Amino acid sequence: MTRPRAHAVMDADAFALLFDEPRRARFASLADTADRMLITDLDDQSNAELLSDAEVLVTSWGAPQFTAERLGRMPRLRAVLHAAGSVQQLVSADLWARGIRLTTAAEVNAVPVAEFSLATILLSGKRTFTHLRSTPDTTWNAWHAQRIGNLDRTVGIIGFSRIGRRVVELLRPFDGIRVLVADPYADPDAVAAAGGELVPLVDLLPHADVLSIHAPSLPATRHMIAAGQLAALPDGATVINTARGALLDHDALLRECATGRIDAVLDVTDPEPLPADHPLRGLANVAITPHLAGSLGSETRRLTDSALDELVAYIAGAPARHPVTANDLKTSA
Protein backbone atom coordinates (compact mmCIF):
# COMPACT_ATOMS: atom_id res chain seq x y z
CA MET A 1 0.00 0.00 0.00
CA THR A 2 1.42 3.37 -1.05
CA ARG A 3 1.47 5.98 1.69
CA PRO A 4 0.59 9.38 0.18
CA ARG A 5 1.99 12.60 1.61
CA ALA A 6 -0.78 13.98 3.79
CA HIS A 7 -1.32 16.57 6.49
CA ALA A 8 -4.13 17.75 8.73
CA VAL A 9 -5.17 21.35 8.05
CA MET A 10 -7.22 22.90 10.86
CA ASP A 11 -6.69 25.00 13.94
CA ALA A 12 -4.72 23.55 16.84
CA ASP A 13 -7.73 23.23 19.14
CA ALA A 14 -9.67 21.26 16.53
CA PHE A 15 -6.71 18.94 15.97
CA ALA A 16 -6.33 18.29 19.70
CA LEU A 17 -10.03 17.45 19.91
CA LEU A 18 -10.31 15.27 16.81
CA PHE A 19 -6.98 13.46 16.89
CA ASP A 20 -6.34 11.55 20.09
CA GLU A 21 -3.31 9.26 20.22
CA PRO A 22 -4.96 6.23 18.55
CA ARG A 23 -6.19 8.38 15.67
CA ARG A 24 -2.84 10.11 15.26
CA ALA A 25 -1.25 6.68 15.10
CA ARG A 26 -3.76 5.55 12.50
CA PHE A 27 -3.15 8.66 10.39
CA ALA A 28 0.61 8.12 10.57
CA SER A 29 0.22 4.47 9.54
CA LEU A 30 -1.81 5.42 6.47
CA ALA A 31 0.11 8.46 5.26
CA ASP A 32 3.54 10.03 5.15
CA THR A 33 3.12 13.18 7.27
CA ALA A 34 6.79 14.21 6.98
CA ASP A 35 6.97 14.60 10.77
CA ARG A 36 4.47 17.47 10.63
CA MET A 37 1.01 16.02 10.89
CA LEU A 38 -0.69 19.35 11.60
CA ILE A 39 -0.51 22.50 9.48
CA THR A 40 -2.49 25.39 10.90
CA ASP A 41 -1.67 28.02 8.25
CA LEU A 42 -1.59 27.28 4.53
CA ASP A 43 -0.09 30.72 3.88
CA ASP A 44 2.89 30.33 6.20
CA GLN A 45 6.01 30.17 4.04
CA SER A 46 7.61 27.67 6.39
CA ASN A 47 5.02 25.15 5.18
CA ALA A 48 5.60 25.79 1.48
CA GLU A 49 7.86 22.81 0.83
CA LEU A 50 5.60 20.41 2.71
CA LEU A 51 2.53 21.61 0.86
CA SER A 52 4.21 21.39 -2.52
CA ASP A 53 4.42 17.62 -2.02
CA ALA A 54 1.04 17.14 -0.33
CA GLU A 55 -1.30 14.72 -2.06
CA VAL A 56 -4.05 14.60 0.59
CA LEU A 57 -5.24 17.10 3.18
CA VAL A 58 -7.53 16.23 6.08
CA THR A 59 -9.40 19.42 6.97
CA SER A 60 -11.73 20.53 9.73
CA TRP A 61 -12.64 23.66 11.70
CA GLY A 62 -10.21 26.48 10.97
CA ALA A 63 -9.27 25.36 7.46
CA PRO A 64 -9.35 28.21 4.92
CA GLN A 65 -10.85 28.37 1.45
CA PHE A 66 -8.87 26.61 -1.27
CA THR A 67 -8.31 29.58 -3.52
CA ALA A 68 -6.42 29.55 -6.82
CA GLU A 69 -3.37 31.02 -5.11
CA ARG A 70 -3.29 28.39 -2.39
CA LEU A 71 -3.96 25.58 -4.82
CA GLY A 72 -1.15 26.88 -7.00
CA ARG A 73 1.26 26.09 -4.15
CA MET A 74 -0.06 22.52 -3.95
CA PRO A 75 0.40 21.10 -7.46
CA ARG A 76 0.19 17.48 -6.30
CA LEU A 77 -2.99 17.83 -4.25
CA ARG A 78 -5.53 15.20 -5.20
CA ALA A 79 -7.93 14.94 -2.26
CA VAL A 80 -9.40 17.09 0.51
CA LEU A 81 -11.08 14.96 3.18
CA HIS A 82 -13.16 17.12 5.49
CA ALA A 83 -13.49 15.93 9.09
CA ALA A 84 -16.57 18.08 9.75
CA GLY A 85 -19.92 18.82 8.11
CA SER A 86 -20.34 21.78 5.76
CA VAL A 87 -17.67 22.30 3.10
CA GLN A 88 -19.09 25.57 1.75
CA GLN A 89 -16.25 27.57 3.32
CA LEU A 90 -13.58 25.42 1.63
CA VAL A 91 -14.65 25.27 -1.98
CA SER A 92 -13.84 27.52 -4.90
CA ALA A 93 -14.24 27.31 -8.66
CA ASP A 94 -10.56 26.46 -8.87
CA LEU A 95 -10.99 23.47 -6.57
CA TRP A 96 -13.64 22.04 -8.87
CA ALA A 97 -11.60 22.91 -11.96
CA ARG A 98 -8.67 20.91 -10.62
CA GLY A 99 -10.89 17.85 -10.16
CA ILE A 100 -9.76 17.45 -6.57
CA ARG A 101 -11.62 14.78 -4.65
CA LEU A 102 -13.70 16.33 -1.85
CA THR A 103 -15.44 14.41 0.91
CA THR A 104 -17.41 15.31 4.01
CA ALA A 105 -18.10 13.79 7.42
CA ALA A 106 -21.60 15.30 7.44
CA GLU A 107 -23.21 11.86 7.58
CA VAL A 108 -21.68 11.05 10.96
CA ASN A 109 -22.08 14.61 12.21
CA ALA A 110 -25.80 14.10 11.64
CA VAL A 111 -25.93 11.48 14.39
CA PRO A 112 -25.63 13.75 17.47
CA VAL A 113 -27.76 16.48 15.88
CA ALA A 114 -30.56 14.01 15.24
CA GLU A 115 -30.24 12.64 18.79
CA PHE A 116 -30.39 16.16 20.23
CA SER A 117 -33.39 16.97 18.03
CA LEU A 118 -35.27 13.84 19.12
CA ALA A 119 -34.68 14.63 22.80
CA THR A 120 -35.75 18.25 22.30
CA ILE A 121 -38.90 17.25 20.40
CA LEU A 122 -40.01 14.87 23.15
CA LEU A 123 -39.21 17.32 25.93
CA SER A 124 -41.02 20.07 24.03
CA GLY A 125 -44.11 17.89 23.96
CA LYS A 126 -44.12 18.21 27.76
CA ARG A 127 -43.24 21.94 27.47
CA THR A 128 -40.21 21.11 29.62
CA PHE A 129 -38.12 24.10 28.62
CA THR A 130 -40.93 26.54 29.37
CA HIS A 131 -41.52 24.94 32.77
CA LEU A 132 -37.86 25.30 33.67
CA ARG A 133 -38.11 29.05 33.16
CA SER A 134 -41.58 29.57 34.62
CA THR A 135 -42.80 30.33 38.13
CA PRO A 136 -43.46 27.36 40.45
CA ASP A 137 -47.24 27.79 40.27
CA THR A 138 -47.20 27.68 36.47
CA THR A 139 -44.99 24.60 36.47
CA TRP A 140 -46.97 22.61 39.02
CA ASN A 141 -50.27 23.40 37.35
CA ALA A 142 -49.02 22.24 33.96
CA TRP A 143 -50.93 18.97 34.10
CA HIS A 144 -54.16 20.91 33.57
CA ALA A 145 -53.04 21.98 30.09
CA GLN A 146 -54.77 20.31 27.16
CA ARG A 147 -52.05 20.94 24.56
CA ILE A 148 -49.31 19.04 26.35
CA GLY A 149 -47.91 15.54 25.95
CA ASN A 150 -46.64 13.42 23.07
CA LEU A 151 -49.76 11.40 22.30
CA ASP A 152 -51.77 12.37 19.22
CA ARG A 153 -49.26 15.06 18.31
CA THR A 154 -47.80 16.02 14.94
CA VAL A 155 -44.13 16.80 14.38
CA GLY A 156 -43.28 18.82 11.29
CA ILE A 157 -39.82 18.28 9.84
CA ILE A 158 -38.52 20.95 7.47
CA GLY A 159 -35.79 19.47 5.28
CA PHE A 160 -35.33 15.76 4.57
CA SER A 161 -31.59 16.22 4.88
CA ARG A 162 -29.13 13.76 6.44
CA ILE A 163 -30.27 15.04 9.81
CA GLY A 164 -33.94 15.42 8.95
CA ARG A 165 -34.09 11.85 7.68
CA ARG A 166 -32.49 10.54 10.86
CA VAL A 167 -34.93 12.48 13.03
CA VAL A 168 -37.86 10.99 11.13
CA GLU A 169 -36.41 7.51 11.62
CA LEU A 170 -35.79 8.11 15.33
CA LEU A 171 -39.41 9.18 15.80
CA ARG A 172 -40.73 5.94 14.29
CA PRO A 173 -41.05 4.00 17.61
CA PHE A 174 -43.37 6.64 19.09
CA ASP A 175 -46.79 5.47 17.97
CA GLY A 176 -48.59 8.57 19.23
CA ILE A 177 -46.59 10.92 16.99
CA ARG A 178 -47.43 11.69 13.37
CA VAL A 179 -44.49 12.97 11.28
CA LEU A 180 -44.97 15.34 8.35
CA VAL A 181 -42.03 16.36 6.15
CA ALA A 182 -41.71 19.40 3.89
CA ASP A 183 -38.88 19.35 1.35
CA PRO A 184 -39.28 20.21 -2.36
CA TYR A 185 -36.41 17.90 -3.30
CA ALA A 186 -37.39 14.83 -1.27
CA ASP A 187 -38.73 11.59 -2.73
CA PRO A 188 -42.15 10.69 -1.26
CA ASP A 189 -41.27 6.98 -1.15
CA ALA A 190 -38.03 7.66 0.75
CA VAL A 191 -39.88 9.82 3.26
CA ALA A 192 -42.54 7.14 3.71
CA ALA A 193 -39.88 4.46 4.17
CA ALA A 194 -38.33 6.54 6.96
CA GLY A 195 -41.68 6.87 8.71
CA GLY A 196 -42.95 10.26 7.53
CA GLU A 197 -45.40 11.77 5.08
CA LEU A 198 -44.21 14.28 2.49
CA VAL A 199 -46.47 17.33 2.19
CA PRO A 200 -46.10 20.94 1.00
CA LEU A 201 -44.91 23.34 3.69
CA VAL A 202 -48.18 25.28 3.54
CA ASP A 203 -50.06 22.08 4.45
CA LEU A 204 -47.60 21.05 7.16
CA LEU A 205 -47.59 24.24 9.23
CA PRO A 206 -51.20 24.29 10.53
CA HIS A 207 -50.77 20.76 11.91
CA ALA A 208 -47.30 21.01 13.46
CA ASP A 209 -47.40 20.85 17.25
CA VAL A 210 -43.61 20.81 17.02
CA LEU A 211 -41.72 22.29 14.06
CA SER A 212 -38.12 21.08 13.74
CA ILE A 213 -35.90 22.81 11.16
CA HIS A 214 -33.26 20.80 9.26
CA ALA A 215 -32.84 22.66 5.95
CA PRO A 216 -29.46 23.89 4.64
CA SER A 217 -28.46 27.52 4.95
CA LEU A 218 -28.46 28.88 1.40
CA PRO A 219 -29.42 32.27 -0.04
CA ALA A 220 -32.76 30.79 -1.07
CA THR A 221 -33.52 29.49 2.42
CA ARG A 222 -32.76 32.64 4.40
CA HIS A 223 -35.79 33.44 6.59
CA MET A 224 -37.72 30.58 5.05
CA ILE A 225 -39.59 30.52 8.36
CA ALA A 226 -40.85 34.08 8.82
CA ALA A 227 -44.00 35.88 9.95
CA GLY A 228 -46.40 34.10 7.60
CA GLN A 229 -45.12 30.63 8.41
CA LEU A 230 -45.06 31.24 12.18
CA ALA A 231 -48.59 32.65 12.12
CA ALA A 232 -49.77 29.46 10.42
CA LEU A 233 -48.62 27.28 13.33
CA PRO A 234 -51.29 26.15 15.81
CA ASP A 235 -51.50 27.70 19.26
CA GLY A 236 -49.09 26.04 21.66
CA ALA A 237 -46.64 24.92 18.95
CA THR A 238 -42.90 24.78 19.57
CA VAL A 239 -40.31 25.83 16.98
CA ILE A 240 -36.96 24.01 17.23
CA ASN A 241 -33.95 25.16 15.22
CA THR A 242 -30.79 23.04 15.21
CA ALA A 243 -29.85 23.92 11.62
CA ARG A 244 -28.69 27.51 11.06
CA GLY A 245 -29.98 30.71 12.61
CA ALA A 246 -30.51 32.49 9.29
CA LEU A 247 -33.30 30.09 8.34
CA LEU A 248 -35.55 31.64 10.99
CA ASP A 249 -36.65 35.29 11.06
CA HIS A 250 -35.85 36.21 14.66
CA ASP A 251 -37.87 39.44 14.62
CA ALA A 252 -40.96 37.54 13.53
CA LEU A 253 -40.25 34.83 16.10
CA LEU A 254 -39.96 37.43 18.84
CA ARG A 255 -43.34 38.89 17.96
CA GLU A 256 -45.05 35.49 18.08
CA CYS A 257 -43.30 34.23 21.21
CA ALA A 258 -43.88 37.48 23.07
CA THR A 259 -47.62 36.82 22.89
CA GLY A 260 -47.12 33.42 24.52
CA ARG A 261 -48.87 31.76 21.60
CA ILE A 262 -45.91 29.59 20.59
CA ASP A 263 -42.63 28.45 22.19
CA ALA A 264 -39.14 28.12 20.75
CA VAL A 265 -35.96 26.17 21.40
CA LEU A 266 -32.99 27.65 19.55
CA ASP A 267 -29.66 25.84 19.40
CA VAL A 268 -28.55 28.20 16.62
CA THR A 269 -29.28 31.91 16.26
CA ASP A 270 -28.68 34.82 13.93
CA PRO A 271 -26.29 36.28 14.90
CA GLU A 272 -24.53 33.59 16.87
CA PRO A 273 -24.25 33.96 19.74
CA LEU A 274 -27.34 36.08 20.24
CA PRO A 275 -26.49 39.30 22.14
CA ALA A 276 -26.94 39.04 25.90
CA ASP A 277 -29.57 41.79 25.86
CA HIS A 278 -31.61 40.37 22.97
CA PRO A 279 -35.29 40.32 23.97
CA LEU A 280 -35.69 36.66 22.98
CA ARG A 281 -33.43 35.79 25.93
CA GLY A 282 -35.89 37.36 28.35
CA LEU A 283 -38.90 35.27 27.33
CA ALA A 284 -39.81 32.31 29.55
CA ASN A 285 -41.10 30.37 26.55
CA VAL A 286 -37.84 30.64 24.58
CA ALA A 287 -34.89 28.39 25.44
CA ILE A 288 -31.49 29.10 23.86
CA THR A 289 -28.64 26.59 23.95
CA PRO A 290 -25.09 27.37 22.70
CA HIS A 291 -24.92 25.26 19.51
CA LEU A 292 -24.83 21.98 21.43
CA ALA A 293 -26.48 19.73 18.86
CA GLY A 294 -23.47 19.10 16.61
CA SER A 295 -20.50 16.90 17.40
CA LEU A 296 -18.91 17.79 20.73
CA GLY A 297 -16.25 16.16 22.90
CA SER A 298 -15.97 12.44 22.27
CA GLU A 299 -18.54 12.69 19.45
CA THR A 300 -15.98 14.52 17.29
CA ARG A 301 -13.93 11.32 16.97
CA ARG A 302 -16.59 10.04 14.58
CA LEU A 303 -15.58 12.88 12.24
CA THR A 304 -11.93 11.82 12.36
CA ASP A 305 -12.78 8.18 11.77
CA SER A 306 -14.92 9.14 8.79
CA ALA A 307 -12.10 11.19 7.22
CA LEU A 308 -9.54 8.45 7.82
CA ASP A 309 -11.90 5.89 6.30
CA GLU A 310 -12.02 8.17 3.26
CA LEU A 311 -8.22 8.15 3.23
CA VAL A 312 -8.25 4.34 3.19
CA ALA A 313 -10.66 4.40 0.22
CA TYR A 314 -8.48 6.94 -1.60
CA ILE A 315 -5.33 4.86 -1.13
CA ALA A 316 -7.13 1.72 -2.34
CA GLY A 317 -8.37 3.50 -5.44
CA ALA A 318 -11.97 2.98 -4.30
CA PRO A 319 -14.82 5.46 -4.73
CA ALA A 320 -15.25 8.06 -2.02
CA ARG A 321 -17.72 7.04 0.67
CA HIS A 322 -19.26 10.51 1.05
CA PRO A 323 -18.19 12.64 -1.93
CA VAL A 324 -19.21 16.25 -2.46
CA THR A 325 -19.73 17.76 -5.92
CA ALA A 326 -20.37 21.30 -7.06
CA ASN A 327 -23.93 20.29 -7.91
CA ASP A 328 -24.49 18.97 -4.37
CA LEU A 329 -23.82 22.39 -2.90
CA LYS A 330 -26.76 23.93 -4.75
CA THR A 331 -29.13 22.20 -2.32
CA SER A 332 -26.97 21.33 0.69
CA ALA A 333 -24.32 22.83 2.92
Report, as residue numbers or ranges, the catalytic residues: 244, 272, 291
How would you write the chain as a 3-class SS string? CCCCEEEEECCHHHHHHHCCHHHHHHHHHHCECCCCCEECCCCCHHHHHHHHCCCEEEECCCCCCCCHHHHHCCCCCCEEEECCCCCCCCCCHHHHHCCCEEECCHHHHHHHHHHHHHHHHHHHHCCHHHHHCCCHHHHHCHHHCCCCCCCCEEEEEECCCHHHHHHHHHHCCCCCEEEEEECCCCCHHHHHHHCCEECCHHHHHHHCCEEEECCCCCHHHCCCECHHHHHHCCCCCEEEECCCHHHECHHHHHHHHHCCCCEEEECCCCCCCCCCCCHHHHCCCEEECCCCCCCCHHHHHHHHHHHHHHHHHHHHCCCCCCECCCCHHHCCC
273 prior amide bond cis, ω within 30: yes
Closest CA to 75 of 92, 52, 96: 52
What is the C-alpha separation between 315 and 3, in angstroms, rounded?
Answer: 7
The two beta strands, 6-9 and 153-158, are: unpaired
